[in-house]
Each structure stands twice: as C-alpha cells, then as structure tokens.
C-alpha cells in the first residue's frame, strides 16, 4: 500500500495515475474524493458531513468521521485481500489523520509519501484546473503535512508528475 | 447492506441516489464503476482487465476478477465496520456473480434487489444519456438476472427511480 | 433550427441526444450549459454573472445577459452558415427570453418545442441525477413556459425521451 | 479574440482558464472540444465525423469539416456581436487550419498564440490526466504548429499555466 498525502492541487492524483502506468503490477487508486462521491448529496452540505467554505476551508463533522473510519477499514481489507492499493489522501488533521490509518493498518506495510507543492504554484494550478473551490490549495498546502511522518517526500513545484512517480516507484519494487 | 443488480441503463444509480435521499441514516453507494475508475487505464483495454466491445459486449479477464475479489472483501469490511452500504452492481455472470458476494459476506445480512427494465426502453435511455457504449443496455438486460435470487424486484420501465427507491426503502427500515 | 425549452430536469438534453440519433442528417446541440461553461469561473458566483441559490433559484446579471446576446447571435450565425442546430434552453424570463431569440433570428425558421414535466416528477429525477442544485426543477417547471409560443409540446412525465424525440422528428423532415 | 493553438495536453485549457481569471473583462472560452461534444455520438466514430485511433491519431471527415466551418462562422459572429472570445484550438492541418479561421475573420483582430510543450513532457501530462487517448500528445506536439504564424508563443514545458497566461494578457490590454 502507498499513501500519497498532500493538499488540494498539489498533484497527488497525477502522480497516482503515473504510478499506475509505470509500476509493473496493477494497482488500484482510491482517494478521499471516492469517499465523498459515495456519500449522500445532503452530507456534502451539512454539519454532520463535509462543508466546503467559499474561502477554501473544509470542515468535516462527526457523521463524516464515522463513515471515514469504516472506509479506512475497507481499504485496508482490500490490501489484506491481495490488492495493491494507492491511497490519495488529504490529511486535514495532520498527524491525527495519519494515526487513524496507522491504527487501522494492524501491521500492514505502507509507503508513506508526502506530496508538496509551493502554495503560490498550487494556487495557480487550482485556477488552471477550474474545477475546485478557489482557496483550498493555499489553505491546505502546509496544514496537511503538520506532524506527519513520511518514508519519502516529493515536490511537484518544479517536477513533473511522471518524475515524482518514478522516484516513488523506485522505492516500491 | 443493499445490493442493486441490473443491466446498464436500467436505472440502478438513480435508485441508489434516491435511496440515499429517502433513508433516514447516511448510506454510502459504491458500484462496479467505482472499481473500474480505480484501475490503471491500461486495464480498461487489455485482456487481463476489462474490455468494452463496440457492440456493447463486456469481457473481463483474470486480472480484473482478482482485483474484484479484493474489492468485494473491502466493501464487506466497510459494512462490518458499521457503514451502511448500497452496492450498484452488474452481475455479468448472473448466479455466479452473486455467489462471489455471498461467499464474502460470511453471514452479513443483505437486501438483494433486482432492477429490471425492458430492453427496448433501456436502449432508448442509453441513447438519451449519451455517455455509454451503445448496445450495453440491450446486451445486459436479461443476462445479469440469470439465476440470481432476490428479496424484491423493481421495474423501472414505467416507474420513476424515486418510486422504486420508496419500495426498497420500505423493506430496509 | 430546433429550440427545446423546458425547466431543469424536464428531459431536454435526453430528447436532444435522441433527436441527434434519429434524425438522418447530423445536428449540433448547444445549450445554456455550454454558455455557462464558457464563462469565467468568477461569473458563476457574481452579481454580474449567474448565481445558483441554495433553494434552486437562478439569478442572472447584466454581464451575463450581454454575453448571452452575443452567444445567441453566434448560434444563429452557425445556422445561417448551414449547420443544423438544436438549442437546449431554459427561458427563465418566459416570453421575454423567447423574444430575444426571435429578434436575433431575422427570419430564420425555427421549430419551437416546449418540454414539459410535472413538477413532482422532475423533482424526483433531479434527485436521481444527483448533479443539480436541488430545487431548480420545481422552481422552473412552470416559470419557463409563461407566455412562450410553441409549434408543439411534449411531456416527459410519462413518455420516454426517445418517444418525445420521434414526435419532434416527425415535424422536422 | 485570442486563438490559442497547441497539441493535446500542451496546456491550452489551463492557460485559457488563467486568462479568464487575470483579464479584467469577462472572456468566453470555446474550443474544438465544445464542437465535438455538440456533435451526434455517431459522428465521433464515423468516417464522416471524427475518429480517435488507438495510437493517438485523429482523423476528421468531410461531414466534420462542414460543421466546423459553420462553427467558426458562429464564433466569429459572437466576437463581432461584442463578446471577448478565447478559442482553444488544435490545428491538425497546421497552416491550412489557420487559413480557415483567417478567411472567416473578415478583418476582425485576433491575437494568435502558439502553445508549445516538449513532446516527452506533454506525454507524461497526458498519462497524469488520465482522460485522453494515449499518444495524442506526442502525435500532435509538432504537427499543429507547421506553417502557423503567431503573434507570440509560450512554452509550458517549464512554465506554469498562470505564467504563460500573464505573458499573453500583457499583449491584450
């Protein structure tokens, strides 16, 4: 299992797709976006669910956390059942978020990868993508890495997704 | 856990979203589309993965089946961990596909729902949607129900998604 | 040129795609969604642009109207240049919206088609689709038809998109 | 009017969205993708329409060219009617494609912008995006610029979309 953690528009999904292309075995990619899409529409706007503020802030309620815990258990079970899994994550709680995964892993080996991108560059990419709430990239750029421990870190500020993927892949085989 | 099984364009996803809206608790929805999206792009065109033929036929290889087994284990683990889960499925193998779920469930209770739609109507909806390989609706309309055992069946040919969802919801509470 | 006018989730886009499938010549389909996508992200949230209220209301500003007038001129020019065009429209201003098209047409022949759907049914379909602001279907169901003059009307409440498309197509050839 | 011409995955759309964000007036963005989406599904696979070969090649037939001519006339009409328009184009025919626009412009002023990206880098980005036929980036990288005359050129190989957009914007005001 590989966990890629980084802020919005830091380039995690691009690295995940490049990893799927360069790694010799088939890997599945799941992310927090997969979970959000699976939720009822009402939870994307409610206190119990997730809320995207106009300034790019993201708040999640207890209902969201409960479903997320079950989601994490499920992803870990897929890995235990033999699937190679890349997780594309945004640790809004920093070290606390990482601990939730560690608690669920029960000894399963994970390659922890930090995906960094300078805030100003991530902001520009957020505008270029055009499908995200403006402000998320800047709000999350530093926040998601606080206290998180990595096996390796990549920085997309001046490196392409494919270059970063090759660095990660070299640690997998 | 609720499993909705039906052919392409039979209306499963619409029923799933209506169920999420009418059921009092939050339910997660996952489907075979979630799994396909998680796969490497190369598996969507290869012998080991999944292949969408120009005539609407769908063929899956051994590599796909292996990942799908791990996927099923993961979804079941989410349900065991307390998440309410709606599964939006296409049993290309009919009874054989259902057995794979039953084997993974280990006693977990499931409401099995068959979603039927007359082939000609499903074909028209496939054209109206415009985002599916033409021919899948007709090819799968009967195929996916062969030998499958249900707790209840709904038919979207002349009923709206919301009506079907209310029938299913009445069996959940 | 064919103009389909109806509220959100009344089934216009499905009818447009079915029309493209059943009409012998190639037809292009453009809609107000095409225009909104072409606008700067900032106009989708501002007073000068378009605003989707949480209750399903839609408000458009002067900046939006100015761009829309140019857009209408452009679509009419495509039709004059020989393209067969289906327009998928939401006349928020009813008869006033229709007049803006009539003024731009300069004698070009149009088949005006009203696409109706009972409010309660459109609301259910809006939930089943899951990609629209809830409330738009109900808010627009009657509003968009006020004072509008049609060559024919179809009702998707109990008819499939394909059936409605065949009725429209019979008037085109 | 601004025309951005470059190969698939060269970064045109990102530059267009950044231009919309940095230019003081509202600009509309249309591209060849808008036209393809407007076409009947059948034209995306037929000899008369457009065909995406598995190796990334793109072939367009006479039917496509006829509709494209009407489309160009329509976009020019929007600009004449007062809309500021950014066109996101792929000149598969190089200089011949540019001439078709020039012939339709009738004296309307255009800023011609070449968007370049080294083939290997564009290929990597194509994989990172995951939503394009692999091979298009490489096949088009040089092809689309053959014989085309520009007012300015930008290169996204080592520059962000936002940087390129600022260079273009400086020539607009």
The reported pLDDT for the residue numbered D116 is 98
| Ramachandran category for residue D104: left, alpha or beta (phi over 0 → left; psi -120 to 50 → alpha) | alpha
**pLDDT confidence bin for B83, thresholds 50/70/90:** very high
Q: What pLDDT is recorded for position B55?
A: 81
Tell me what percent of the residues of chain D surpass a pLDDT of 70.
99
D21-70 pLDDT, tens digit each: 999 999 999 999 999 999 999 888 776 788 888 888 888 888 899 999 99
Give whole-number Cα distances, B43 to A121, B33, B46, B49, B60, in Å: 33, 13, 5, 4, 10
**Partners of chain D (3+ Cβ pairs below 8 A):** A, B, C
Which pLDDT does position C80 carry in this prediction?
97
pLDDT at D132 over 90: no
Q: Which of B124, B127, B160 lies at the smallest CB-CB distance from C121?
A: B160
Maximum C-alpha span of chain C: 43
Chain A residues inside the 8 Å CB shell of C134: 41
- Do C136 and C33 touch, CB atoms closer than 8 A? no
Q: pLDDT confidence of A81, banded at 50, 70, 90?
A: very high
How big is chain B, counted in residues?
173
- Among all residues of D, which ones are annotated catalytic? 33
**C-alpha pair distances (Å), C74 with each of B24, C82, C105, C108, C130:** 48, 13, 11, 13, 32
Nearest CA in chain A to B18: A40
User: What is the Cα–Cα distance from D8 to D2, expressed in whole angstroms?
Assistant: 18
With CB atoms and an 8 Å threshold, state whether A21 touches B29.
no
Across chain B, mean pLDDT equals 94
| Three-class DSSP labels, B81-123 | CCCEEEEEECCCCCHHHHHHHHHHHCCCCCEEEEEECCHHHHH
- As averages over each run of 10 residues, the pLDDT of chain C (173 residues) reads 97 97 96 95 81 83 92 98 97 96 95 98 96 90 97 97 98 88
Question: Which of D17, D19, D28 to probe the C interface (max C CBs under 10 A)?
Answer: D28
Percent of chain D with pLDDT over 90: 83
Verify whether the Cβ–Cβ distance D74 to C75 is below 8 Å. yes
- Tell me the pLDDT tens digit for each residue of A141-158: 999 999 999 999 999 999
pLDDT at B160 over 90: yes
Averaged pLDDT, A7-27: 96
The whole-angstrom distance between A147's CA and the closest CA on chain B is: 27
A158: left (phi over 0), alpha (psi -120 to 50) or beta: alpha
pLDDT reported for residue D115: 98
* pLDDT class of A52 with cuts at 50, 70, 90: confident
Contact C4, C16 (CB under 8 A): yes
Burial zone of D35 (CB within 10 Å; 0-12 exposed, 13-18 middle, 19+ buried): buried
Unique residue bearing structure tokens 């067969």: C84
User: What does the pLDDT look like over B87-114, one tens digit per residue?
Assistant: 999 999 999 999 999 999 998 999 999 9
Torsion B152-B153-B159-B161 (CA) sign: positive
Nearest-by-CA chain B residue for D45: B54
Main-chain phi, psi angles of A42, to 5 degrees: -65, -25
For residue C148, which of C89, C63, C104 has the smallest C-alpha distance? C89
Residues forming a β-bridge with A165: none
Taking any CB pair shorter than 8 Å as contact, residues of chain D touching chain A are 11, 13-15, 17-18, 21, 121, 124-125, 127-130, 158, 160-163
Closest CA to B121 of B155, B147, B154, B167: B155
Strands B152-155 and B58-60: unpaired
Q: CA C102 to CA C95: how far, in whole Å?
A: 10
**Which of A27, A29, A81 faces B74 most closely, judged by CB atoms?**
A81
> Which pair of structure tokens corresponds to residue C172?
């085109």
Question: Chain D residues within 8 A (CB-CB) of chain B?
Answer: 41, 127, 130, 134
pLDDT at B47 over 90: no
Closest in C127, C130, C161 to B162, CB measured? C127
The per-residue pLDDT for A117 is 98
Query: In this predicted structure, which of A111-120, C54-63, D91-100 has the lowest mean pLDDT?
Result: C54-63
DSSP summary character for residue D155 = E
Q: Which of D36, D38, D40, D41 best probes binding to B when mutated, by most B CB atoms within 10 angstroms?
A: D41
Q: CA C155 → CA C7, C122, D167, distances in Å?
A: 12, 11, 51
pLDDT of residue D157: 97
How would you write chain C as a 3-class SS string? Answer: CEEEECCCCCCHHHHHHHHHHHCCCCEEEEEHHHHHHHCCHHHHCCCCCEEECCCCCEEECHHHHHHHHHHHHHHHHHHHCCCEEEEEECCCCCHHHHHHHHHHHCCCCCEEEEEECCHHHHHHHHHHHCCCCCCHHHHHCCHHHCCCCCCEEEECCCCCHHHHHHHHHHHHC
CB atoms closer than 10 angstroms to residue A45: 12
Q: How far is A71 from chain B (nearest CA, A)?
A: 6
CB pairs under 8 A between C and D: 101
Q: List chain C residues with CB under 8 Å of D76.
A: 77
ipTM: 0.94
pLDDT at position A46 over 80: no
Alpha carbon distance C86, D38 (integer Å) = 9
Of C66, C65, C113, nearest to C88 by C-alpha is C113
Question: From CA D97, how far away is CA C44, in angstroms rounded?
Answer: 33
Place of tokens 């005359």: D149
> How many other C-beta atoms are found inside a 10 Å radius of the C-beta of residue B106?
8
Query: What chain A residue is nearest to C131 in terms of C-alpha separation?
Result: A41
Give dist(CA D138, CA B31) in Å, integer. Answer: 34
Contact D17 A127 (CB under 8 A): yes
Q: Region A17-29: what's the mean pLDDT?
A: 97
By the 8 A CB rule, do B115 and B5 touch?
yes
Q: How many CB pairs lie under 8 A apart between chains A and D?
A: 57
Minimum Cα–Cα distance from A35: chain B residue: B28
Q: What is the pLDDT of residue B149?
A: 98
Probe site for chain D from C13, C20, C23, C28 (most D CB atoms < 10 A): C28
Mean pLDDT on A68-96:
97
The pLDDT of residue D122 is above 90: yes
Q: What is the pLDDT of residue A45?
A: 74
Which residues on chain C place their C-beta less than 8 Å from a C-beta of chain B? Answer: 11, 13-15, 17-18, 21, 121, 124-125, 127-130, 160-163
Which residues of chain A form beta strands (DSSP E)? 2-5, 28-31, 50-52, 58-60, 85-89, 111-116, 152-155
């Amino acid at each position: 299992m590989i966990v890629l953690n980084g802020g919005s528009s830091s380039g995690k999904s691009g690295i995940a797709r490049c990893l799927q292309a360069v790694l010799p075995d088939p890997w599945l990619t799941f992310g927090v976006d997969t979970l959000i899409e699976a939720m009822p529409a009402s939870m994307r706007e409610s206190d119990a669910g997730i809320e995207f503020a106009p300034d790019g802030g993201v708040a999640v309620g207890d209902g969201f956390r409960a479903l997320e815990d079950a989601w994490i258990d499920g992803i870990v079970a897929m890995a235990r059942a033999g699937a190679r899994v890349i997780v594309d994550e945004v640790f809004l709680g920093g070290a606390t978020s990482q601990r939730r995964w560690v608690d669920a892993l029960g000894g399963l080996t994970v390659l922890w990868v930090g995906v960094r991108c300078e805030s100003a560059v991530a902001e520009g990419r957020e505008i270029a993508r055009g499908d995200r709430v403006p402000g998320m990239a800047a709000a999350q750029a530093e926040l998601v890495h606080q206290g998180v421990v990595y096996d390796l870190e990549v920085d997309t500020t001046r490196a392409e997704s494919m270059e970063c993927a090759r660095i990660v892949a070299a640690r997998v085989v």
